[in-house]
Amino acid sequence: MSLLPRQDRRYLEGRGITVREVIAGGKKGVILTGITLPEGKYQVAQADILILLPPSYPEVAPDMFYAVPHLKLLAGQREPRCTQARQAFDGQTWQRWSRHNNQWRPGTDGIWTMLKRVEEALEVAA
């Protein structure tokens, strides 16, 4: 059983990214392990990122994303803005990055769009 649509799988295979597809508590998500964070910005160099896939994806957008460990900015020793909510999933408590997404273009956007959004959010977080 696969969770991701074929285009996403092709993209991830092409980039050599392995993801863990998880169904837990009625929710479906992919966990990207060991994502490299912007250098010198957070208390850790790598984190796991969870993307919850809503029913009907990829026709509708994934919304927010989640991180473990809970990321803190080195500057100020605090969590970035809008990351205070928590989400339990697959036995872990995730830090919710509330970055809302209604700019989804079905057919054009996929897991690659979401990865780019995650990278950008991690880069510009303050």
Partner 1 sequence: MKRSDITLQARHRDKLQALLAHPRGHEGAAYMLLGRSEIAQDPWDLEPRTRYTSNEVIAIPQEDRVDASDKHVTWNTNSFAQLCRRAKEEGLVPAIVHSHPGGFDGFSDQDDRNERDLFTMARNRNGEGTRLVSVVQVGDGLYRARVWEDDMTPLPCHRVTVIGTRLEIQSPDVPTPSEALARQALAFGPEVNGLLTQLSVAVVGCGGTGSPVVHLLARLGVGRIVVIDDDVVEHSNLNRLYGATRKDADNAVPKVDVMAREVTMMGLDVEIRSMKGWVDAPHIRDALKSCDVIFGCTDDHAGRLYLNRVAHFYLIPVIDVGLVLMPRDDDEPGLLEMAARVSVLFPTSACHGCRGTVDRVRAREEELQRSDPAEYERQKTEAYVRGAGNPAPAVVTFTSEAATMAVNELLAGLVDFRGGGGWTWQRYRKLDKGLERSQAVQPRPECPLCGSDEYWGLGDVDPFLDRVG
Give residues in contact with partner 1 (CB under 8 A): 1-7, 26-28, 53-61, 63, 98, 100, 102, 104, 106-108
Angle CA(119)–CA(84)–CA(38) in degrees, nearest 5? 25
- Nearer of residues 26 and 76 to partner 1, judged by Cβ: 26
- Nearer of residues 41 and 96 to partner 1, judged by Cβ: 96
- Nearer of residues 53 and 122 to partner 1, judged by Cβ: 53
* Closest distance of CB 106 from partner 1, Å: 6
Peptide bond into 106 cis (omega under 30): no
* Closest distance of CB 110 from partner 1, Å: 9
- Nearer of residues 77 and 102 to partner 1, judged by Cβ: 102
Placement of tokens 């956007």 in the chain: 109
Residues constituting the chain: 126
* Phi and psi at residue 120, to the nearest 5°: -65, -45
Closest CA to 90 of 9, 30, 42, 33: 30
* Closest distance of CB 94 from partner 1, Å: 13
* Closest distance of CB 89 from partner 1, Å: 12
Return d(Cα 27, Cα 43) in angstroms, integer: 29
